[in-house]
Structure 1
Amino acid sequence: MAPRTTGSARADLITDAALDLLAERGMRGLTHRAVDERAGLPQGSTSNYARTRQSLLEATVRRLAEREVRVLAPGELPTPGPSASPGTAPDLSAPAGQDALIAGLAPALHRYLTSHPELLVCRYELALEATRRPELRAFFDATGRQFREPLVALMAAAGSPEPERHALSLVAWCEGLMFSCAAGSYSRSVPSEAELRTGFRELLRGMLGH
């Protein structure tokens, strides 16, 4: 496994170069030598950081997750607290609470779709590779939990009787939009933020019944 040094300048340079290559050339274009060249580093630098292809892929997945956090800004979402029990979490089940949830979700998704489509291409390249590499699949899924688990808590706080299932529906709706706009037939028809707000509102109303 790659050393946990993604916070260092060189590690970020290497993994950002890896993401650039994935977006531009696909998985076949991601090699240690190519990363060195793209990053402007001496030959062997990427091998010193990530000895194997598996470790390079893991480091790239980790960097993708870090950059996605900055784009999606989960800190903009309402905080349900340690549990969704009455008295310990904001009332996201009320219309105003759901509006606050939508106000966090819609801008984040719009920002990703319009300003960072290259990260979406990287996400799909790595996700497909993970279907062929069980070790990477486990690593990819583990990094994804930082996004999934907060959504489950938010759905519980919003009054969902089945927060896990409803969180999956919410993620699937977002993923479907992202794929359609990044790699599908809607690349020239990215929804506006207002349209995304309407979509989120319709989805939540259908799941929660209010």
Structure 2
Amino acid sequence: MSTTPAHPAHRAHPAPPADPVNTAPPVESAPSTASASTPESSRAERVADAALALLAERGMRGLTHRAVDEAAGLPQGSTSNVARTRQALLELAVRRLAEREARVLALHELPDPRTGGLDSVVDALALATHRALTRNRELTLARYELALEATRRPELRTYFDAAGARFREQLGALVGALGSTTPERHVLSLVAWADGLMFSCVAGTFHTRVPGLEEVRAGLRELLEGMTGAGKPVV
């Protein structure tokens, strides 16, 4: 059962077609309150999930402690008990965002490029990127709101950068295993490509035209082949 209630103004987006690859990273779903976690951690997760939903729907100005209480279906004052200040609430949202996006990307479940080759990496990254554009669009919007706010709050930047560093480290290992001789530079190009695609299709000029899974896969293959030479026929 979702802990992030729908807001009346929220527009539902059509579900994308089923993923054709069974080994894809799992779709991130709204967390359930029925878990083995403590009541305190469950409440913190409800608060954080509601904060992310509000950021996606109303933007940074719509994020208040009272609004989070209402969105999470909690008694007034509950959010203040979990995160007393606005900074604490934003930090809680960033940590929760990192947890949920990690489930979407599931980089720890990617096949070993040394055995699965370029195709296995392209398939997994394409599926994760496509899900960020469709089923997990709300998380992507919340990330943009938090990223912009982090440019004005150095303390928040620290939390945001820590989550990004872990992701970049894993990507670096992937492109290195595919044959990249400059993985740090190639990770920058790969992240820039993915971020540009997601921003354009979620909030930019291509917001009415989300690419299909095959288009995303083709773009990633072109990029990774050019970077690493993997998948190209040997002459």
Report the 3-state secondary structure (helix = DSSP H, G, I; strand = E; otherwise coil) of the residue aligned with 1:186.
coil
CA contact (8 A) 1:6 1:59 kept: no
**For residue 125 of structure 1, what is the amino acid of its counterpart?**
E
Pairing partner for 1:49 from 55, 78, 82: 82
1-side partners of 2:95 and 2:206: how far apart? 28
Unmatched tracts of structure 2, length 5 or more: 1-37
**For residue 208 of structure 2, what is the amino acid of its counterpart?**
R
1:30 and 2:83 are equivalent in the alignment? no
CA contact (8 A) 2:48 2:93 kept: yes
2-side partners of 1:41 and 1:140: how far apart? 27
CA contact (8 A) 1:6 1:63 kept: no
**1:146 match:** 166
Cα deviation for residue 91 of structure 1 reads 2.1
Report the 3-state secondary structure (helix = DSSP H, G, I; strand = E; otherwise coil) of the residue aligned with 1:8.
helix
**For residue 102 of structure 1, what is the amino acid of its counterpart?**
V
**2:9 match:** none
1-side partners of 2:109 and 2:216: how far apart? 16
Of Structure 1 and Structure 2, which has the larger fraction of its residues in helix?
1
1-side partners of 2:88 and 2:228: how far apart? 42
How many residue pairs match? The answer is 193
Report the 3-state secondary structure (helix = DSSP H, G, I; strand = E; otherwise coil) of the residue aligned with 2:204.
coil
2-side partners of 1:73 and 1:187: how far apart? 25
**1:75 match:** 108
1:39 and 2:72 are equivalent in the alignment? yes
**1:11 match:** 44
1-side partners of 2:89 and 2:47: how far apart? 9
Moved over 4 A (4+): none
1:204 and 2:227 are equivalent in the alignment? no
2-side partners of 1:14 and 1:97: how far apart? 41
**For residue 43 of structure 1, what is the amino acid of its counterpart?**
Q
**For residue 150 of structure 1, what is the amino acid of its counterpart?**
Q
TM-score (norm 1): 0.87
Percentage of identical aligned residues: 66
CA contact (8 A) 1:76 1:104 kept: no
Out of 64-73 and 130-139, give the one that drifted further: 64-73
2-side partners of 1:194 and 1:136: how far apart? 36
1-side partners of 2:71 and 2:201: how far apart? 27
TM-score (norm 2): 0.78
Within a 5 Å distance, the mapping from 1:120-199 to structure 2 comes to 120-199=140-219
